Amino acid sequence: MSIEGILGRKLGMLSLFDEEGRMRGVTAIAVGPCYVTQLRTPEKDGYAAIQVGFGEAKRLNRPEMGHLRASGGRKLRHLAEFRGDPAAFQLGDRIGVEIFQVGERVDVTGVSKGRGFQGGVKRHGFAGGPKTHGQSDRHRAPGSIGAGTTPGRVLKGTRMAGHMGAERCTIRNLEIVAKNEERGVIFVAGSVPGPNGGLVRVRHARKVSK
């Protein structure tokens, strides 16, 4: 493994039949093409990594253009670093779907869909109040949030209503069910964070569990 992973975009979900004839719910992810924009070496930077760029930017400022000039001057919108062997790449190299194989496991990181301000029932799975004995407006209320005398305050971190979603999260150990070399798309079993068209990081699974 010369590089840990690359950037891509979530395309959407569909159903596929695997080699055993089972119907699988999968997410299509367009991985790459990414271009090597910088090589991090232990001698120069203190660690080894490969910086890649993905997507086309409409406009860049001068520092961004200067940074990308050495790798071919492409207007790349997103930059990210992945662990890997810098000696295996040169500036401007193209990396795509070829680094992933059908059957292997990957970790997918993205920003989850924003849900706005939500109550405790939806945000944390609270049960709400009983729907009997004359209760007419307490079905989705949070209930008690702390003791009265001691400590006499609401403790920090108490689960309550608030902003939900729009957080960076990772789904681990997703199996690659199929891939399309021509279109640069992989199909992973299950769902991944974010909306269709959202940016995701796809990397080889760090802890494989079956």
Sequence-ordered strand ranges (E) for 4-161: 5-17, 23-31, 34-40, 49-56, 76-82, 94-95, 105-111, 116-118
Region 189-210 average pLDDT: 90
**Domain annotation covers residue 149:** no
pTM: 0.84
**DSSP H stretches of helix in 26-102:** 42-45, 62-69
Number of domains comprising the chain: 1
**Average pLDDT value for residue range 116-130:** 93
Residue 11 lies in a domain: yes
Confirm whether 181 is domain-assigned: yes
Residue 88 lies inside a defined structural domain of this protein: yes
CATH number assigned to the domain comprising residue 99 = 2.40.30.10
Is residue 153 in a domain? no
What pLDDT sits at residue 208?
77
Q: Is residue 42 part of a domain?
A: yes
Residue, of 88 and 109, whose pLDDT is higher: 109
Position with higher pLDDT, 209 vs 118: 118
Q: What tens digit of pLDDT does each residue of 134-179 get?
A: 888 888 998 888 877 888 888 899 999 999 999 999 999 999 999 9
Give the residue with greater pLDDT, 78 vs 72. Answer: 78
Q: Is residue 148 situated within a structural domain?
A: no
Tokens 């400022």 locate to 61
Q: Which residues, in sequence order, are CB contacts of 6 under 8 Å at separation 6+?
A: 31, 32, 34, 52, 54, 82, 95, 96, 99, 201, 202, 203
Q: How many CB atoms lie within 10 A of CB 190?
A: 15
Sign of CA dihedral 80, 111, 173, 184: negative
Residue 21: give the domain boundaries: 5-115+163-204
Q: Which helix (H) or strand (E) holds 121?
A: helix 120-124
Give dist(CA 69, CA 36) in Å, integer. Answer: 12
Residue 135 in domain: no
